[in-house]
Chain A
Amino acid sequence: EAGVAQSPRYKIIEKRQSVAFWCNPISGHATLYWYQQILGQGPKLLIQFQNNGVVDDSQLPKDRFSAERLKGVDSTLKIQPAKLEDSAVYLCASSLEVGAYEQYFGPGTRLTVT
Chain B
Amino acid sequence: EDQVTQSPEALRLQEGESSSLNCSYTVSGLRGLFWYRQDPGKGPEFLFTLYSAGEEKEKERLKATLTKKESFLHITAPKPEDSATYLCAVQANAGKSTFGDGTTLTVKP
List A residues at the B interface (Cβ < 8 Å).
4, 33, 35, 40-45, 48, 55-56, 58, 91, 93, 98-100, 102-108
A107 to B46, CA, bound (A): 13
B32: chain A residues within 8 A (beta carbon): 99-100
Stretch in B11-19, B70-78, B89-97 with 4+ CB within 8 Å of A: B89-97
Decide if A107 touches B42 in the complex (CB within 8 Å): yes
A56 to B6, CA, bound (A): 24
Q: Does B25 contact A (CB under 8 A)?
A: no
A16 to B28, CA, bound (A): 38
User: Per-position contact with A for B67-109: 1 when CB-CB < 8 Å, else 0?
Assistant: 0000000000000000000010101001111111110000000
Of the A-B pairs whose beta carbons lie under 8 Å apart in the complex, a sample of 22, sorted by A's number, is A33-B97, A40-B101, A41-B101, A42-B6, A42-B99, A42-B100, A43-B87, A43-B99, A45-B97, A55-B95, A91-B44, A98-B95, A99-B31, A99-B91, A100-B91, A102-B34, A102-B49, A103-B34, A103-B44, A103-B97, A105-B43, A107-B41
